Amino acid sequence: MIPVYLASSSPRRRALLEQVGLPFTVVEPRVEEEMDEQLPPHRLVEKLALRKASSVARQLTGGLVVAADTVVVLGDRVLGKPADAAEAISMLSLLAGNVHEVYTGLAVMEPPPGRRVVTHERTRVRFRPLTAEEIVNYVATGEPLDKAGAYAAQGLGAIFIAGIEGCYFNVVGLPLARLATVLQEFGLNLLRLSRENGVLPA
């Protein structure tokens, strides 16, 4: 099997790859997540994902690198990870009672000068109205502080979500259906891999 390297320090992305039974090695990218707000959101996340994948690919001589980057978009505002609790409160106050979009850029590439595929997924998320007390109490848990948009759909933040249109796993940080389709372009079929190698989700 082709060795797969995940260019991410995110425990959520690691858990999702484990969920679909894909063996992988984590190699953290050496990049700064700089937000270029001049780019449309889908191009921004593609650029950031490609930058992460390229950083890791340069350290390798073979295999396949998978990288992703996620942002939350409300109107014309791009929300990345909050810098502190105050910014998390501000972000959640904006999202409360509104519909926002989650974009994840996905980059899969062979170490240079190999092939690469860069794409993205978009999901619409509707938050129910939130009280100031709910927001403050949620931020006090610490969960929002390393999450794009200051919430975790797979965690306690789930109680704020009134509806989702599109890929749920995209909101968590890695659109699995799109990833499976891209991996097939590189000769990796997740269903066949699990069956042939006995690599099955827990």
Residue 47's domain is classified under what CATH number?
3.90.950.10
- In angstroms, the CA 40 to CA 110 distance is 26
pLDDT at 37: 66
pLDDT digits over 151-183, tens only? 999 999 999 999 999 999 999 999 999 999 999
pLDDT digits over 69-93, tens only? 999 999 989 998 999 999 999 999 9
- Count of CB atoms situated within 10 Å of the CB of 39: 14
**Residue 23: inside a domain:** yes
In the chain, the percentage of residues whose pLDDT exceeds 90 is 79
Residue 29's identity, in one-letter code, is P
Contact 41, 101 (CB under 8 A): yes
**Residue 202: inside a domain:** no
pLDDT at 9: 85
Q: Of all helices (H) and strands (E), which one includes residue 179? A: helix 176-185
pLDDT at 200: 54
| Residue 95 pLDDT > 80 | yes
Q: Which of 69, 76, 84, 146 is catalytic?
A: 69
Asked about 146 being catalytic, the answer comes back as no
Contact 8, 67 (CB under 8 A): yes
pLDDT at 43: 95
Residue-level length of the chain: 202
Strand partners, 66: 6, 108
pLDDT at 197: 60
Q: Is the peptide bond before 113 cis (omega within 30 degrees of 0)?
A: yes
In the chain, the percentage of residues whose pLDDT exceeds 70 is 93
Number of domains in the chain: 1
| Residue 192 pLDDT > 90 | no
| Residue 16 pLDDT > 80 | yes
Q: Of all helices (H) and strands (E), which one includes residue 4? A: strand 4-6
**Residue 36: inside a domain:** yes
pLDDT at 198: 61
Has this prediction a pTM greater than 0.85? yes
**Residue 98: inside a domain:** yes
Strand partners, 119: 106
* 3 state SS of 166: coil
Domain that holds residue 15: 4-197
Contact 125, 160 (CB under 8 A): no
Task: Please classify residue 168 by burial: count the beta carbons closer than 10 Å to its beta carbon, then call 0-12 exposed, 13-18 middle and 19+ buried.
Answer: middle
pLDDT at 112: 79
